[in-house]
Every structure is written in C-alpha cells, then in structure tokens.
Structure 1
Amino acid sequence: MRLLITNDDGVHAKGIHILCKELEKYHDIVIVAPSDQRSATSHSITIREPLIVNEVELPGLKSKAYSVSGTPADCVRIAVDQIVDKVDMVISGINIGYNLGTDILYSGTVSAAVEATLCDIPAIAVSTEWHAELYSYENAAKYVRKIIEVADTNGLQDDIVLNVNVPPIEKKDIKGLKVCRIGKVQHSHYYVKDDSDKENVVYRLEGVRKVEHDEETDSYYIDKGYVTVTPLHYDLTNFGILNEVEVWF
C-alpha cells in the first residue's frame, strides 16, 4: 500500500521516525509533516499565508520526507494535492501524548486523519503517553502495522478514522486490543499572569487534566493496559435529539 504519514509533533519527532521505520519495511510511504511542533492546533488550516514545503532528509529512513510550514491538516491537503499521486491510507502519529476522550477535538494528530477522510482517504491516528519510553513507540508502530492490515482486509471506509492509543508499557504487559467509545477528559484551565513583561499584559495557560474512567471507554481500557481503537466520523450531528430540536422550532 502507499501510505501518507503525518503528525502534529513535527517532521523530526521521534514518534513519526519510529512509525516510519516500521512501516517502510512493508509499505511504500511518503512523509509530509509540520516543520515544527503543532500540537493542539485541532483542524485549523492556513488561509492567509503561503505554505512553504521543503524536502528533508530523516536519518535512518529511506522514504521521502517533506516539511510543511502549516498545520497537520495543511500537510494532508498539500500532500494529496501536490506531492503524492495516490494515497491508499493516511497514518497520523505516533503522537507524543494520548488522544483520549474529548481531547480528540483539540488534537492536530486526529484532525490530520480527519482531513484525510474529507479527501476520501481512510485514516488511522495513533498516540501513546507523553512520558513513554522508546519501546512504547516501537510497540505502537507494530500495532499500527497490524491494524493497517486488518483495516485494509476488511475494507475500512474512506470516511472513517480509527483512533488508536497504546499504553506506555512493555509489550508483554499489554493485555490486548479493545474497540470502544471515547471517554471524557476534563481540563480545569486557568491563566496565570506573567509580570516579567513590562510592556504587555501577559497570561500563561495552566491547568489540571482529569480523566474519567467510565467503563467501556478508551480512557478506561488504556488504564487497564489495553490498546484502544475507536472509529471516528466527522459528522458531529447529535441524532439522539435531532427530532426533538426540530419540534422546538
């Protein structure tokens, strides 16, 4: 298969390097990723500035790689339009930090995969915890390879993203794989005033991340030592109350 690999941590991030090292053994891959860190950019795209694309050399990889001055979604758009003739599947990651529950709304990693489905290309987003050791990324890469095979065999639809999270534990300790719904992640955000700048009023974002481990959710199973897979779709319609809201009006 021809795979387009992207991420939101930047083209030189260790997660994308380890992922590509594993996948290029089995597939024809092209790497198109942001030139620098673009975490939490969600699905933003660049519309007022030109995109700068440079071919880069990634040591230890034989596949072609390109850096893009824009966002993860930009990377997919420019790759499909200008860089790669044909893409069978887009793989986004391996992200440095889980994308569980409602965090997927902020995630540049997941949004790059969603952008692929808007281009009618099936996609997989993959993440592991931010403090993960090297073996966690290697585990994640191997699981992604298997998930690609299963998804391809079963005809993953071109409007579906498989959101994958891999726990930061040794392979022997991973209990298996669970397909599940997303859970709930809350952030108690607050801003702290920074008085070091005498010319401007400056606030810096702080906060605490709280994960609710409801049963049968991704956050629940990842905490139990499972790899989680959640199918996502860009249609955010709440069908459960669609008819009720229609009555209101």
Structure 2
Amino acid sequence: MRILITNDDGIDALGIKRLTEALLTLEGAELYVVAPVEEKSGVGHGVTYRSALSPEERDFYGLPVKAWAVNGNPADCVKAAYHLLFEDDQKPDIVFSGINVGTNLGRDIYYSGTCSGAREAVILGIPGVALSYDNWEDQDNYGDVVEMIRPLVQSFGEKAMNNELPPEVFWNVNIPHLPLNDVKGILPASLSLNHYEDRYHQEAEGYFLTRTYPDGIPLAEPQDYHLLKHGYIAVTPIHIDATDKGLLKAMDEWPLVKEWGKRG
C-alpha cells in the first residue's frame, strides 16, 4: 500500500509526525511525506502557478519514509507529488492529510489547508482523508491520538486497496482532545455550518479575525461540532461536486432560461 502524507502546518509540525507514526504500524505500507516547508494554515485550496515549486528531499525525524518539503500550499504538495515524484504505474493508493493542530469543522472545510490536501487527492482520482485534533489550546500535546486513529487509518487503507471508497468524496475526521478511554466512539457526522460567529478585534497592527462559540452544546443533531464536543470522533464524507442538483432542475422553469434556452 503506497501512502502519501501531507498537512498544512508544515513538514516540521508534530501532527504530521504523529500521523506518520500511526501509518507506520500498517503492514506493508510504503510511506511518502510531501508537505509545505512552512505553515500554510487557512490557505484553502490555493495552488501556486505564478512562481516555481522546488521540492527538496528531507530527512523526516529519522523515520523510515521518503520525504520532501515543498515551497507551496497543501494542494500544491499533493499535485506536485502526483505529477513529479511518482511514476504513472506507481501512484499513491491513498492520501492522508494532517494531523492538524485544532479542528476543521463545518464551514472550516472551505478554509482549511488540511482539507485541501485530501480534496486535491480526490480531484486526482485518489482517496483522501483529512485528520484534525482538538488541541488548539494545548498544541504541543497530541495525547493518545496515535492509538485513536490507528484503527481508522487501517480501515481507510484497506478500503482504498479494495476499491471500496467512493470517488469524488474525501473524508473529514475530527478527533477530541481526550484520553483514549474517554473517547465514546466513532460516528458519522454532517457538517455544523453555524456553530461559530466571526469577529474582528483591533490591535496595534490592525484587525485580527477571531471566533465566538456557543456556551451550551446540546447533542441535538449528528453534526461534527456537537459530536466532537460530546467526546466522539466525527467522520464526515465530503462530496467535491457542490452542484445543487435539485435547484439545477428547478432552473428549467425560470422564465429567462425558457426564453434564452430556445435560442440554442
């Protein structure tokens, strides 16, 4: 099983080391790390085309993997690895992106560089999994995360090898910052699109974006934010085709569409 690993916190981040350690436990896994040379959080799905990319081979914590640092974004790393580092008959079987410092929940998937790494994999026809850990307030502590994700990455790896993962879908995994024995389980989750509000606060340099979160977190719906805060690992399948098929059909009845459609 050929596995490509990337992230948005940079190749020297602790999270990608922990992810690699978990993947090294998989039997027969051949690991490749291709990650940004510096932190690229919040860059979304940005790609580099106005300047050159220069992948640089690196040692990676002394672990038995091949690794490159790339002067670009997470999507660049996956795209460049696919086209530059792998032969046509030796493409990765699956891409794992993370482990991100802090969660990527709800509409975070549009801003997240971690998610873009997994999304770019799917665009290239490879299964992709993004993993994020709820340790934003305790960033040097990854606790039991390796033990938590080991069965998950093994399952995704096996499904990828058996062609059991659907095309055009990447998987967004969010992990609570808890001891292993306190994690309640792994549950499928929908996106929680309204669990925070954006705020700007002023400092000497200008305005900084912050967020406010609700005080109460009822487990009313199986949404990623709510499940995570109640101690579950939340797994969300994200389809990359964002077309509203129902609305697309309804547009046939728009007067403008009816009028101009006849001109064809």
| Alignment partner, residue 60 of structure 2 | 58
Gap regions ≥5 residues in structure 2? 257-264
Give 1:241 shift: 2.6
Residue 107, structure 1, aligned to residue 112, structure 2: yes
TM value normalised by structure 2:
0.85
Task: Give the alignment of 1:128-167 within 5 angstroms.
Answer: 128-129=133-134, 130-132=136-138, 133-149=141-157, 151-152=159-160, 153=162, 155-167=164-176
Cα deviation, 1:173-218, whole Å, max 9, x if unaligned, reads 1111101211124332325253xxxxxxx52323224367651111
Equivalent residue for 1:207, pick from 205, 210, 218: 210
Task: Give the alignment of 1:32-51 within 5 angstroms.
Answer: 32-51=34-53
| Alignment partner, residue 32 of structure 2 | 30
Could you tell me how far apart the structure 1 residues matched to 2:82 and 2:239 are?
20
Contact map agreement 2:21 2:146 (CA 8 A) in 1: no
Task: Give the alignment of 1:1-249 within 5 angstroms.
Answer: 1-26=1-26, 27-85=29-87, 86-129=91-134, 130-132=136-138, 133-149=141-157, 151-152=159-160, 153=162, 155-184=164-193, 185-190=195-200, 192=202, 194=204, 202-210=205-213, 215-248=221-254, 249=256
Percent identity over paired residues: 35
Instruction: Point out the more displaced range, 178-187 or 76-85.
Output: 178-187
Could you tell me how far apart the structure 2 residues matched to 1:82 and 1:145 are?
25
TM value normalised by structure 1:
0.90
> Quick check: which one's strand share is greater?
1
Letter of the aligned partner of 2:143 in structure 1? Y
Instruction: Point out the more displaced range, 181-190 or 231-240.
Output: 181-190
Q: State the secondary structure of the residue aligned to 1:77.
A: helix
Based on CA coordinates, which of the two structures has the bigger radius of gyration?
2
Contact map agreement 1:45 1:73 (CA 8 A) in 2: yes
Could you tell me how far apart the structure 1 residues matched to 2:121 and 2:43 are?
16
Letter of the aligned partner of 1:189 in structure 2? R
Contact map agreement 1:136 1:166 (CA 8 A) in 2: no
Give 1:143 shift: 4.1
Instruction: Point out the more displaced range, 126-135 or 80-89.
Output: 126-135
Cα deviation, 1:69-124, whole Å, max 9, x if unaligned, reads 00000000000001123210000011111011111110000011111111000111
Could you tell me how far apart the structure 1 residues matched to 2:187 and 2:53 are?
39
Could you tell me how far apart the structure 2 residues matched to 1:147 and 1:58 are?
25
Letter of the aligned partner of 2:55 in structure 1? V
Could you tell me how far apart the structure 1 residues matched to 2:190 and 2:70 are?
32
CA RMSD of aligned residues (A): 1.9
Letter of the aligned partner of 1:207 in structure 2? T
Could you tell me how far apart the structure 1 residues matched to 2:19 and 2:155 are?
13
Could you tell me how far apart the structure 1 residues matched to 2:144 and 2:247 are?
41
Gap regions ≥5 residues in structure 1? 195-201
Could you tell me how far apart the structure 1 residues matched to 2:148 and 2:79 are?
25
Contact map agreement 1:30 1:84 (CA 8 A) in 2: no
